[in-house]
Amino acid sequence: MGTGAFASYVCAAVQAQKPHALADGSPFELDGLPGLRLTKADLHPPFDEPEPAGPLWDFVAESMEEAMGSSRGMILNSFHELEGLYVDKWNREIPLKMWPVGPLCLASEPVGTMDRGDISDWLDSRLAMNRPVLYVAFGSQADLSRAQLEEIATGLDRSGLDFIWVVRSCWFDHENPFENRFGDRGKVVQGFINQLGVLSHKSIEGFFSHCGWNSVLESISMGVPILAFPMAAEQKLNAKFVVDVLGVGLRIWTTKVGEGDVEGALVDSGDVQALARELIFGKGGKHAAAKVSALAASARTAMDTGGSSFKNLDLMVRDVSV
């Protein structure tokens, strides 16, 4: 399953309770989760509507009905120490059982294998100079405008940080305009990269991420705090979980209105600059780093023999074998 228990449970609870039916858009709580304050802006279509309708909702409803009618449960890439509250609530309230058996990224050995020598050498050089590195990647599906890319590039450049930024070739009409822009301080990579290998490197001290669930889990498993920039699907709920529930990251918001042919809001270069530095050097970032370090230790324990994920895998096998 490519999402976490928190996002799954919140979406189900919102649809059942419909607390966002208030017209004024005020923050709301969910029964059974006191202290968690949400707004419609934290939700993604079609769950942001109290009475969803249309092709997307029809597809979601049909998929959920089919899954619940034909499946014994869901294998969850998570672990009980991270999301046990939401797993337990799901299993009490929803007939389709959930088994957290992760983080699956820790099942591969060795975790820190790097597939590109140039990246490994560059990261090693940063570590030798005691220069912390920010890893920047927004997944394989994000579609960023040229204006948004420029804001991010300007903010990273002005931050003074060393960074490695994974970009997609489809973002550009021809060659990458950022390739030689940052000198030796910024490493720009097109195409596939071994993300887990990068996150496990000791020079990496922050991850500027879209908050796809696999990226969140890999970052937590490697003990790397997150600067959350959600864009689509359940990423906004993942960001809410990372920042407000777990306290292992900071959130960047879209605050700048696009100009000319650019539609919608953008994250501003000044916010990129300030929050990237706060994540690596600031008090908020240090607090997040301490929190995520403790969760990383729990993740490894969960995957050990006798750990929570080990036990859940055994329980799943027993349940589906009946």
Q: Which residue, among 11, 4, 49, 52, has the nearest Cα to 30 in the 3D structure?
A: 11
pLDDT at 209: 98
| pLDDT mean over 52-73 | 78
Structure confidence at residue 322 as a pLDDT band (50, 70, 90): confident
pTM, rounded to two decimals? 0.93
Q: Which range (114-123, 148-157, 302-311) has the least confidence? A: 114-123
**If residue 76 lies in a helix (H) or strand (E), which one and from where to where?**
strand 73-76
pLDDT at 312: 95
On whether the CB atoms of residues 53 and 63 are closer than 8 A, the answer is: no
Q: Structural domain boundaries of the chain? A: 5-106, 117-294
Which pLDDT tens digit goes with each residue over 159-185? 999 999 998 766 666 666 777 789 899
| pLDDT mean over 9-24 | 86
Say how many C-beta atoms besides its own lie within 10 A of residue 68's C-beta.
13
pLDDT above 60 (res 262)? no
CATH 3.40.50.2000 assigned to domain 117-294? The reply is: yes
CA–CA separation, 145 and 231 (whole Å): 12
CA–CA separation, 319 and 125 (whole Å): 50
Pair of tokens at residue 54: 């249309």
pLDDT at 136: 97
Mean pLDDT over the full length of the chain: 89
pLDDT above 90 (res 144)? no
